[in-house]
Structure 1
Amino acid sequence: MGGLDRTVSHGATLDRVLVRAPGKLNVFFAVGDVQPDGYHDVASVYQAVSAVEEVVATPSDDFTIAVTGSVDVEGVPLDDRNLAIRAARLLASETGYTGGVHLVVDKHVPVAGGMGGGSADAAAALVACDALWRTGLPVARLHDLASRLGADVPFALLGGTAVGTGRGDQLSPALARGRFDWVLVTDGEGLSTPVVYGELDRLRAQRRPDIAPDAGDPVVDPQVLQALRAGDAATLARAARNDLQAAACALRPALADLVADGIGHGALTGLVSGSGPTVAFLAADPDAAAMIGERLAEEGHDVRHVHGPVGGTRVVSAS
């Protein structure tokens, strides 16, 4: 499942385009050693999940944005620091479009939670503006622009399940059968991705063998791909991995306690999502997810139940 859908009927100039883009979980995330430029090569398996962002694009003389949502959006920038605005400006620059756009972003992916919400906004803005402005870029060109905006943006376009290598933006679709149910525990206080990577480098410099990088370029464990193809949540739980988890837990020790707590309530495994601090618990089925979520909610956690894989960025309506 997956793939960019931006079908828009030809005709008069559009006044409004609504696009949805999915958040993601990293069900596997191997991080290579730090490179001379300070970045890390990774080997990731992304899964798009049913927590989605909605972006409405309408014509404007300038580039402006408003943000609402079911998650805390207080810290979301409303200027050119916002990745959706940067995406719209990049598309205009690359296509010679001389107007602007007003974007209304309705967020349902936790902010700074390691689930790619900002990247989903950028992907949605690219697709929405492409439709609104009738620029008609080929899909490959949109993916190129997406990769220039951030490593997670191309996957938000694609959706479904995919292997990411290099900086995470070199994508190969992966087959996943069935449905995987996740219980998310979100945290209002985000973790900075660069800080988490820096902490991983610091911990590795202490020669900790449990988090040492793989020899050579990082690769995806074949067992992960086999589990996804089989729709086997129990096998996926045994093979799932996030090399950033130790660093995130070192920066925020309560995350390690939370992971143990969720597993104690019946989760097959618990993963810090990306650089965190969202924790994703894999459940055996929807009923198990409901039970795990109920117990975690009773303990005062902010909980939501999502499933994957779901499709990529798509135009919902255009008029």
Structure 2
Amino acid sequence: MDFIENIQNSGRLAIDLVLYLMLPITVVMGGLMKVIENKRILAWLSVKLSAVTHTFGASGLSVIASTKMLFVSSVAPFPTLAKIDLMEQDQRKLAASMALVLTLTQGNISFPMIAYGVNIWVLLASSIIGGVLASAFTYYVLMRNQSAYANGTEAIEEGPKVKKTIVQSLSDGGMEGMKIAINMIPMLIITIFILTILKDLHVIDVLTKWLEPIFSSLGLPGAAVLPIITKYIAGGTAYLGVIIDQVEQGTLTARDLNIIVGLASNPVDLVGLALFSAIGPRIGKIFRYALMGALFGLLVRAVIHIVWFI
């Protein structure tokens, strides 16, 4: 086991993934989303759909947060979720909105996998269905005995917005997308390196042997264990790198990939949970309910993918 060589290989793989696969997508999608946001289209949608979101317990602003999650990245909804933390008086809606967002797939993970056979329409549909059910389950079941309103919480009005041209919005959104992609490089290098060490120490082989019967019952090969373990330990970016590498090596098929994304393409992992729970003080207090609701929604998503692709 060559320690320095493993570090260098991890760095090369991480930079290749970020610069040639993720960066173009985050820049373009970030720019487009910024244009839509600055033109108040998302705000208009959130108002128009507030009656719909109310039926399954979520805030109207959750439409904006969900759109950013689905089409940009897991980091993109943070400002909107922080705004919901400040403006949404109903704690039940706050928890339901968070459960909705936690159930969705991330755009920076899902869109690069289209080139490897992922059915993006099924992935988006399962995300929305699972998210809506997670929100309703959180609002009507998990939070039913909780007080709707937190003491001392008042709605906060937004300040005036500076109007920007489409070109300025594209530039701002593109820069945000670039920052998201570049900021992933250090953690991606570290996680890929850790996974390489675990493989060299045969830890992954042992886990694969233990979990292979479970995965076989789902119609998945033993090779599917590594990307799913990677996802829940190291996060979505490392998971993307591992799963693409396995598809290119031929150890996973497009069918396997479409089942796996139903199980693992979401922000619920060790890194994601730490970040989401710290967005705002009120979110931190209701986060356990949101997480339980999200786990219900993720189970629904997994069943949809297993039934559809087996």
Question: Into which bin does the TM-score normalised by the smaller protein fall?
Answer: under 0.3
Larger relative helix fraction: 2
